[in-house]
Amino acid sequence: LPAGLSQWFPALEVLDVSGTGLTEMGTELLSLPCLHTLLAKNNRLGGPGSLPKGLEQAPLARSLRVLNLSGNRFSEVPPALLQLRGLRSLSLGGNRLHSIPPDIQELHSLEFLYLGGNFIAAIPPELAKLPSLRYLVLCDNKIQSIPPQLAQLHSLRSLSLHNNLLTYLPREILNLVHLEELSLRGNPLVVRFVRDLTYNPPSLQELAGRTVKTRNVPYAPSDLPDSLVRYLSLASNCPNPKCGGVYFDSCVRQIKFVDFCGKYRLPLMHYLCSPECSSPFSSASQSSTSQSESDSEDEASVAAHRMQKVLLG
């Protein structure tokens, strides 16, 4: 960046240095207290020293709202960016990212996150701790599964997951009550039900925990070690309405096909407490049958009025 930039334009609010071949941004950037939009797309940023030292302590850390670094050479999200607490829009598409740092959760004001066109294989559960996130773009990566915690993104309007390696979606995705657009084309979403026959029996601790929870055995923190109190708090309710059981670590994975918007059938992953609980959902293994369709009517009705657009192809 040119020397004296802050002296020439002390009230600069928008700076676009896209496509200029930049390999680093100098300290002049730190002296722009009014800058709220920085566009540096399609450059050669990403090596050591690409971003100025002290960025997180500069006035810029408080003023910046929009940052676009797409089309550069970052192999990881620079830690300094995770200190820009006022950031509302962050774009790092078309870089060389292999992961999303858990500290992404520190960007509490973030509304738009674009990470498409990278090499990301997994989504950290911490991403679900962004209360203001409305648009999440993770297309063109190598993502194989979606953590159920994403259902906590109650403000999410659009989720782009096309061109990944997804074979199923978590059932909890139905809890994204404001989701209007879900893009899934280019994923190997399963078209036939596949049952995972492996099932690890519950441990004695889990069997005891299940008994305590299902029979409502009263206990107080003073009655049990802290580790057991924490363990009991991790119980998950079995989604089978005819069961009423719970599980901790041992569960049966089952895929159930659900109608979305009256047109599409998506495979959603369910976690049941035991193999005996699979019978009420057994029709999911026959996705082409009318029984399967009626079996998913309840979830279909929930999903249809929430999802305005589902892009599968």
pLDDT confidence tier of residue 285, bands split at 50, 70 and 90: very low
pLDDT confidence tier of residue 201, bands split at 50, 70 and 90: confident
Rounded distance between C-alpha atoms, residue 300 and residue 289, angstroms? 16
- Dihedral pair phi/psi, residue 62, rounded to 5°: -95, -30
pLDDT in tens, 34-80: 899 999 999 999 998 899 888 888 888 889 999 999 999 999 999 99
Taking a C-beta distance cutoff of 8 angstroms, is the pair 176, 134 a contact?
Answer: no
pLDDT in tens, 251-273: 887 777 776 655 566 777 777 88
pLDDT in tens, 148-180: 999 999 999 999 999 999 988 888 888 888 888
The pLDDT score that the predictor gives to residue 197 is 44
Element (H, E) at 205: helix 204-214
User: Where are the chain's structural domains?
Assistant: 5-194
When mean pLDDT is compared over 45-59, 96-110, 181-195, the highest value belongs to 96-110
pLDDT confidence tier of residue 287, bands split at 50, 70 and 90: very low
Rounded distance between C-alpha atoms, residue 266 and residue 260, angstroms? 7
Cα dist. 180→149, 242, 243 in Å? 18, 31, 32
The average confidence (pLDDT) of the chain is 82
Taking a C-beta distance cutoff of 8 angstroms, is the pair 36, 60 a contact?
Answer: no
Q: Which CATH superfamily is domain 5-194 in?
A: Ribonuclease Inhibitor (3.80.10.10)
